[in-house]
Structures are given as C-alpha cells and as structure tokens.
Amino acid sequence: MRALVIAGVASGVGKTTVTLGLMAALRRRGLAVQAFKVGPDFIDPAFHALVTGRPSYTLDGWMCGREAVRATVARHAADADIAIIEGMMGCFDGIDGTSDDGSTAQIAKWLGAPVILVVDAGAASRSVAAVVLGCETFDPALDVAGVIANNTGGAIHARWVQDAIASRCRAVPLGALGRDAALVLPERHLGLVTAAEGPLTPAHQTRLAEAIDRAVDVDRLLRLASAAEGEGRTGPGDARPPVLAEPADVGRASPGPVRPSPSAARIAVARDIAFQFYYEENLALLREAGAELVFWSPETDPDVPDADGLYFGGGYPELRAKALSTNVAVRRGVRAFIERGGPVYAECGGLMYLAETLEDPEGGVYEMVGVLPAAVRMRPRTLSLGYATVTTTAPSILGPAGTVARGHEFHYSTLERVPLSVPRAYRLTDARGGERVEGYQIGSALSSYVHLHFASNPSVAEAFVRACAGARA
C-alpha cells in the first residue's frame, strides 16, 4: 500500500487545497484514492469524499490510539491504489506543547508513511528552507520526504524557494503553487463552508487538479509514496512498521474487518445541511454491530422515519434554525419518539436541536424539540474547544456505568443552565485534568456537546445498537 501524509508547518498554509488538488489529479490518472484526515475534523473529510468517491476516515492518535489508527487504515485502504492522509494544524501540533500525542507527526510515524510538507512561501523565499530543515531535524524519526510550496508570487520566486530547499534539505522540492484566490474554498466561524453546501463544484475540482498537474511533479511524488512499503528511500523511515497492520496487531479498541450482520436494529441518522458531522468510523461500527442505517433530514422530511433509534450528529443547526423550527411535524415526532422511550443519541448540534429554543447568529430565537429544558444561545460568541474523556456515571444507551470513551468539543454556542432534575450521565475529564458533569439523560435520550469517536471504545456502538434492538422488541 502506497501512502502519503500531507502536513503543514502551520494552520492556513494550504494543506486542504493541496490535498484536494492532489486527490483530484490522482483520480484523473485512474487511481483509486483512499482519503484520511488527522484530528477531530468533520469538514475536510466530506470534501475528500466528494473528490475521491469514497468515504474519508478520521485518524486521531489521542482519541483512538495506535492500534485503532493502524487498523482503520488497513481496513479502508486495502483496495485502494494510494492512501492520502491530510494532517491538521502544524505537523507537530497536538494535545499539548511537549509531546506529539494527537499530532500529524504521530500518525505518520505510526503508519511509517512519508510526509509531504506544505509551506506558505507568500512572505519568504530562502527562509522557507530553514523552516523545512527545522521540521526535518525537530523529530529525526519523522520521514519528511517532500515539500510543496504554496502561495508563491511568480516563476522566479518559486525557483528561489525550491533551489533553497534543494540546497539545504533532505526533502525533495516537488513544486510550487502560485497565488490563486480561485482555488481557495470559502470559510466561516467553525472552518470551511461545508461540502453539503456545494462550494466544491466539479469545475472547482478540475481547477484544483489542473493547478497540481501544472505546478507539482506528481510522478516524483508517487515514487516517494512507495517508500511506505520500504522502497526507494533510505534513512529514518526504514525501521518503522509497515503501513498496514497485521491481524495480530489489532487491539481490543481497534475496529476489525466488517462482517455482514443481520439487521439487529434500524437507526435513523439525521444527515442534511444542519446535521452532517459524523465520524465515518462511527457509522461503520454501528453497521458492524448490526444496525441498518437510514439517512433523513429533520429540515425537509415530512416526518420522522420508521426506526428503532435516532442519531443526531453535529453540524450548523444555528444556521438552519428557522427551517428546523418551521418543520413542526418532525419536531413533534422526535419529541413523541423520546416520550415513548425511543433511544436517541444526540451530540453537539443534536443537543442544540433537542433544546427548548435555539438562537441563530443574528439573534433570532426559534423553538426546537423541547425535551432538554434549556435554551441554546449563540451570543456572546464563546468558543469551547478541546479533547475530553467521557466516563459514564449511570447506565445509558451507550453502556453500563463506568463505560469510558474519548471525544472532542468544538462549538460557539452556549447551553443555558439545565435544571438539576435532569440526570447527568457523563463525567468529563479534559486534557488538563479538569472535570465536570454533562451528558443529559431524559428517558432513553442522551445528549452531549462531546463528539465521541466510537473507535476509542467500540462497545458504545454495540450498546447503542442493543438499546435500539431492545426498543424494537
């Protein structure tokens, strides 16, 4: 299996532009490309899927651990010609300032995959080589194999940057993309405008592919990718394990091969513009546990689907608050489903939808499902961001008390104080050791701001499917 990690020296250097362009260029060559994304990201994987025609899977060292990460790559890239793994933030940025836990570098080393470093050269030329050299020497165990410069100002500038890299660095200069605003995807408060909203048109994909083909030596880049199998390159990467995990390497928390299962339960997954943030591995693990998944829209469908359980992921319900509120039949249907004991798992955007009211960014307030007795506000704009370990303190649809899983919070909304009469099922521990209670449990409905990664503990997917099957019985 050939694999490459596309990493950046910082956020905002053009990793996603380069990654999408490279994927599109490889698809044009007839290659099957399997995409992965490092870190707790839902937006970039959706763009990957548009370009590759295959779901993109999240690799997170802190949430899932080494064996689950390696097993995920083994499982989903086995039938692809090449795996392209997009990093997050800067290459070495992770859970804190002293370790590589949760970082792109950690994933690359676990997979034994060469790194292609993306550098914004917009305000530098020879100094770019110093940055690349720093990345090479910062962690000698990391195989920084190539460099793509972005945002160059012209042919001469691009040549200076590449000459500087070639003269001082081990990494191969693979090309330089010039400044081109037409290649950049639009952004909003939590990142890029999402794929479901249509910014990555076929024409845009073509522009990206053509830009990569013009500016980057794709053939040389592919030769570097073969180093993941021990071919071609020598140096620090040689002693690392192969990209694909051996069966004996798969630990308890690792998702194994998908085995067809008879449907134990039917779970309706809300998936539209308002609710679109799901780890693909979560859905895969639910299916493996025996669930039949059906996708629907709380905004546009006339009623709640006939299902044994409901799953509401995150997204941007605040931007669709009026439309969600207007669909009264669905709001009432969800409430009735919960009131008769139907299992519901709702995270982040899903929690916002189950609340009494939701404020949109302009200050409008709209009725939501109303089972969680509190309002959600978007003002003042306050960011909650970080990893969390969840330990259940009571039996729930995710398993018995004491179940442990890991996840991530990322939201600007604020939930008003929930009455103490509403049971809390979670003890959250953040990366700094701080604790608080959360996980609001109303009957068989569980809502939280935390996006859990089920690969951190696949038993939570199994427990949710069992709860839904029990509701069917």
Within 10 angstroms of residue 289's Cβ, the number of other Cβ atoms is: 23
> Pick from 225, 246, 469, 441: which is nearest to 345 by CA?
441
Q: What is the Cα–Cα distance from 268 to 34, expressed in whole angstroms? A: 27
- Decide if 91 is catalytic: no
Q: What is the Cα–Cα distance from 100 to 87, expressed in whole angstroms? A: 13
Task: Write the single-letter amino acid at 121.
Answer: A
Contact 413, 445 (CB under 8 A): no
Q: What is the Cα–Cα distance from 20 to 47, expressed in whole angstroms? A: 8
* Beta-bridge partners for 266: 292
Contact 119, 131 (CB under 8 A): yes
Torsions phi, psi for 301 (to 5 deg):
-70, 150
> Pick from 66, 67, 70, 108: which is nearest to 87 by CA?
108
Indicate which residue of 64, 135, 169, 348 is catalytic. 348
First vs last C-alpha separation in the chain: 44
- Residue 180 backbone zone (phi > 0: left; psi -120 to 50: alpha; other: beta): beta
Q: What is the Cα–Cα distance from 470 to 171, expressed in whole angstroms? A: 56
Q: What is the Cα–Cα distance from 364 to 374, expressed in whole angstroms? A: 16
Active site amino acids: 348
